[in-house]
Amino acid sequence: MRWDKEVELMVKLLYYSLSMSRALQTLGEEYTDIWERSTATGRSPSRATRIALILLPTLPSYIYARSESHLDKLPPGLAWMLRTLPTVLEVASDVNLAIFYLRGTYYDLVKRMLGIRHISSTPENPHVRPPSYSLLGVLIMIRLLYRLTAYLRSRLSSEPSAKTRTADVGAHEMFIDDRPVSTMLDAGDLDAQQTKSAEDDQNTVLDISSLPPRVRAARTCTLCLEERTDGCATECGHLFCWNCIMGWGREKAECPLCRQALNLTRLLPIYNL
**pLDDT for 175:** 54
Alpha helices, DSSP H, located in the chain: 4-19, 27-32, 47-55, 59-67, 76-103, 109-114, 134-156, 162-171, 181-184, 187-192, 213-217, 242-251
- For the chain, the farthest-separated pair of C-alpha atoms sits apart, in whole angstroms, at 82
Per-residue burial over 218-242, b = 16 or more CB atoms within 10 Å of its CB, e = otherwise: ebebebbeebbbbbbbbeeebbbbb
Contact 51, 114 (CB under 8 A): no
Cα separation, 53 vs 16, in Å, equals 8
**pLDDT for 184:** 52
Contact 243, 193 (CB under 8 A): yes
* For the chain, domain boundaries: 4-123+131-154, 172-269
Residue by residue, pLDDT tens for the chain (273 residues) are: 567 788 888 988 888 888 777 777 888 888 888 888 888 888 888 889 889 988 888 888 888 888 877 888 888 888 888 888 888 888 899 999 999 999 888 888 899 999 988 888 888 788 888 788 889 999 999 999 988 888 888 878 755 544 455 555 455 555 555 555 555 555 444 444 556 677 777 778 788 878 888 888 888 888 888 888 888 999 888 999 888 898 888 888 889 888 888 888 888 888 887
Cα separation, 198 vs 206, in Å, equals 10
**pLDDT for 192:** 46
**pLDDT for 99:** 92
pTM value is 0.53
Superfamily of domain 172-269: Zinc/RING finger domain, C3HC4 (zinc finger) (3.30.40.10)
Contact 19, 26 (CB under 8 A): yes
Which one, of 79, 77, 49, 51, lies nearest residue 64 by Cα? 79
**pLDDT for 200:** 74
Contact 166, 173 (CB under 8 A): no
Strand pairing category for 175-176 and 179-180 = antiparallel
